Structure 1
Amino acid sequence: MEMLTKLFKNNIRQYGMIIALVVIMILFEVLTGGLLLKPINITNLILQNSYILVLAIGMVLVIITGHIDLSVGSVAAFVGAVAAIMMVDWQLPAWLAVIASLLVGALIGAWQGFWIAYVRIPAFIVTLAGMLLFRGLTMIVLEGQSISPFPGGFQKISSGFLPDIQFSGFGLISILVGIALTIWYIVNELRERRSQRKYGFAVVSQGLFLLKLIVVAAVTNLFTFVLASYAGIPNILILLFVLIVVYSFVMNRTVMGRHVYALGGNEKAAGLSGVKTKKVTFWVFVNMGVLAAVSGLIFAARLNAATPRAGTNFELDAIAACFIGGASASGGIGTVFGAIIGGLVMGVLNNGMSLIGLGIDWQQGIKGLVLLLAVAFDIYNKNKRSA
């Protein structure tokens, strides 16, 4: 029991938000009479929140470095508009338009990263200017009109599903994917535990380790089973999974990840220890530009149109997801997984409140309170540790 308490205290941000997510899901499952966890609604939750989760992955890196990016919603809208012009007006192949759109996002990130990293203008000011600039450019490019429809292949980014084999109303491939993920997770955890023991690091007891494996395996297979009972695994979920795995690896296992954390923890100390702080900041914003472009493409594909008002408030939802997921407002702390959990908390809140008929006014107020409580919780823990 003492080991369990210590484990929870050391990971209070991560485990606290997972528990909060579970509690919120159970609450709305009861309030909606079982609608929240129906297969069709679970699939809709993934599709509705995918573009915010993509933004949250990039935003958490920005926040860890001690900066903020207010422009991502406008950048997503602008990239969606550029993609629409290339695919609908110019009739370019979808794959070529997607590559060009990602390059546009990278250039926008480089533009903002230059002013922040090398000219030393605060990120708040640069990205606030970017929010206004790219929103205006979106309206100019679209001439105030929506452009649609996109090619069918492009739409499948957001609305398509992994091809499946139906058997008794269930997708066999979706179930097999769940089993494969479980095996991959268990093998990876066993290898990690063996490595920690080899180098003398403390590990949790065998009982807790087995409990963790069982819970994760059960949740993974239940999730894929629910998806298999409706339409299978959405294409966008595969993209999200790849992004989560890649960015978690980069942040936890690479020199670049350690430099990002070092920069956010103490920029001067990081610089003195050999971290090229300007270069790291620059590339973090280039990365944010690319992920904003990905988010814009996903949203445009889901809407099947590029509109002047696309991306409105995306930046607020992405920032809220990061802070709710445990990122620190002062930088140096945060995880990709935590940002995803924070985004899911926001997504379930939105979906659940809509299902029970709460108006947009109540929804905005409750989301604001949740964000405030999450940041207050972070500051409370920080003060408690420093006391």
Structure 2
Amino acid sequence: MQSHAQKERNYSSLQPESPIKQLFKNNMRQYSMIFALIVIMLLFQVLTSGLLLQPLNITNLILQNSYILILAIGMMLVIITGHIDLSVGSIAAFVGAISAILMVNYEMSTFGAVAISLLVGAAIGAWQGFWVAYVKIPAFIVTLAGMLLFRGLTMIVLEGKSIAPFPETFQKMSSGFIPDGSAANVVTLLIGAALSVALVITQLKARRTQKKFDFDVQSKGLFMLKLVGMVVLLNVFTYVLASYEGIPNVLILLGILIIVYTYVMKKTKAGRHIYAIGGNEKAAQLSGIKTKQMTFWVFVNMGVLSALSGLIFAARLNAATPKAGNLFELDAIAACFIGGASAYGGIGTVPGAIIGGLVMGIMNNGMSLLGLGIDWQQGIKGLVLLAAVAFDIYNKNKAA
């Protein structure tokens, strides 16, 4: 005979969960990081006496973290496949050095130098992808060797010196803004309004598609609440940018990358194959997925994004230096794990990587505004990374 308490528990387990509780349960990883990001922002906003969310500082946050966020997008794909890439910082430094030699020493056009630099990044990614995918050397070893190799090559090609300055057109790629002479920066506000309309249409279309195929959807009230919240946040963000210089060019580039890679991972066969490889590579291979080719192209993609990150960093610094890209790989990896990637592969999203990168960036910026030294900053970031991975393992064990 069951006790009264056992009957109560059995009865309660049969009751349907509330929509809000079910929403948070199904998206625990995503919403917990968003909640953590909001808490960290509010905390540093108070501790810095309102400096954190000033328009100038918000713009600086975007410019300072753009190259890490670009790396985090590529790193998320690598981690989803169950691998890791320790060489991205060194590749960024090497490509930055190559671009400086082409544009400064040989006076090549910005477009030509950028195209060659991206091709160099793709070639490096192909080199490492070959050893990982086809020779089956662990990615940790291959990319560790790459980290040492390309850091050394950077020192060699630069001869231990910095090369500067870059052409103004190249600098604008990282530090320029959408041109608008008006004081209120009307263009930025109009872009915010246009993006709001596009967001509403996209969300409504996605909801109709889900209902058409009898998928579970949020209640109408909860959906409208979420949609209104997203539109308000988007317009507040664009208003803050308009209060300073407008939308940075690099934010446009970053937004395009986020949209494209989110679409690829969610809507295309290639994205599903990447998740399948990370979930169980042998099962994916038996089901007909070309696991070697897909792993190879994931590393090629990482090489291209590393090159792009190096170009953005060099343009912001207006110089190619031997120490460029130092610890970029650790920030990118930390952004992915904080943003919900699993240490075991097969789990993670591009928006999650961006959220994780913003958490790291706001922590760095907030601690700098408070006057904390780099030693404290590194220690605190290490603890945050450890907590994020521990949270991932806890959820995995709980699900089991």
Q: Distance in 1 between the 2:172 and 2:98 partners?
A: 19
Residue matched to 1:64: 80
Match runs of 1:65-84 below 5 Å: 65-84=81-100
Unaligned 5+ runs, structure 1: none
The question of whether the paired residues in 2 share the 8 Å contact of 1:57 and 1:340 is answered with: yes
Tell me whether 1:293 sits opposite 2:307 in the alignment.
Answer: yes
Residue matched to 1:224: 238
Residue matched to 2:253: 239
Tell me whether 1:104 sits opposite 2:123 in the alignment.
Answer: no
Q: Distance in 1 between the 2:144 and 2:307 partners?
A: 18
The question of whether the paired residues in 2 share the 8 Å contact of 1:101 and 1:293 is answered with: yes
Residue matched to 2:9: none
The question of whether the paired residues in 2 share the 8 Å contact of 1:17 and 1:341 is answered with: yes
Amino acid at match of 1:65: T
Amino acid at match of 1:83: S
Q: Choose the corresponding residue for 2:167, options 141, 151, 160.
A: 151
Tell me whether 1:302 sits opposite 2:316 in the alignment.
Answer: yes
Residue matched to 1:46: 62
Q: Choose the corresponding residue for 1:250, options 261, 264, 273.
A: 264
Amino acid at match of 2:242: A
Tell me whether 1:85 sits opposite 2:101 in the alignment.
Answer: yes
Aligned length: 384
Report the Cα offset of residue 164 of structure 1: 1.7
Residue matched to 2:227: 213
Q: Distance in 1 between the 2:272 and 2:180 partners?
A: 40
Q: Choose the corresponding residue for 1:352, options 366, 369, 391.
A: 366
Residue matched to 1:11: 27
Residue matched to 2:153: 137
Residue matched to 1:2: 18
Residue matched to 1:163: 179
The question of whether the paired residues in 2 share the 8 Å contact of 1:56 and 1:340 is answered with: yes
Unaligned 5+ runs, structure 2: 1-16
Amino acid at match of 1:89: N
1:44-97 CA-partner distances (Å, limit 9, x unpaired) = 000000000000000000000000000000000000000000000000000000
Tell me whether 1:31 sits opposite 2:47 in the alignment.
Answer: yes
Q: Choose the corresponding residue for 2:348, options 314, 327, 334.
A: 334
The question of whether the paired residues in 2 share the 8 Å contact of 1:165 and 1:173 is answered with: no
1:348-368 CA-partner distances (Å, limit 9, x unpaired) = 000000001111111111101
Tell me whether 1:370 sits opposite 2:381 in the alignment.
Answer: no
Amino acid at match of 2:208: R
Q: Distance in 2 between the 1:149 and 1:365 partners?
A: 34
Q: Secondary structure at the match of 1:170?
A: coil
Q: Secondary structure at the match of 1:376?
A: helix
Q: Distance in 1 between the 2:158 and 2:225 partners?
A: 54
Cα RMSD of the aligned pairs, angstroms, is 0.6
Q: Distance in 1 between the 2:318 and 2:352 partners?
A: 30
Q: Choose the corresponding residue for 1:315, options 326, 329, 340.
A: 329
Report the Cα offset of residue 381 of structure 1: 0.7
Q: Choose the corresponding residue for 1:120, options 111, 130, 136.
A: 136
Q: Distance in 1 between the 2:398 and 2:218 partners?
A: 24
Amino acid at match of 2:336: C
Bigger shift: 352-361 or 240-249? 352-361
Q: Secondary structure at the match of 2:347?
A: coil
Q: Choose the corresponding residue for 2:276, options 254, 258, 262.
A: 262
Q: Distance in 2 between the 1:356 and 1:190 partners?
A: 43
Question: What TM-score does the superposition give when structure 1 sets the normalisation length?
Answer: 0.99
Report the Cα offset of residue 268 of structure 1: 0.4
Q: Choose the corresponding residue for 2:291, options 277, 287, 303.
A: 277
Report the Cα offset of residue 165 of structure 1: 4.2
Report the Cα offset of residue 108 of structure 1: 0.1
The question of whether the paired residues in 2 share the 8 Å contact of 1:74 and 1:134 is answered with: yes
Q: Distance in 2 between the 1:106 and 1:361 partners?
A: 35
Q: Distance in 2 between the 1:53 and 1:75 partners?
A: 16
Amino acid at match of 1:328: S
Q: Choose the corresponding residue for 1:189, options 200, 203, 216.
A: 203
Amino acid at match of 1:30: V
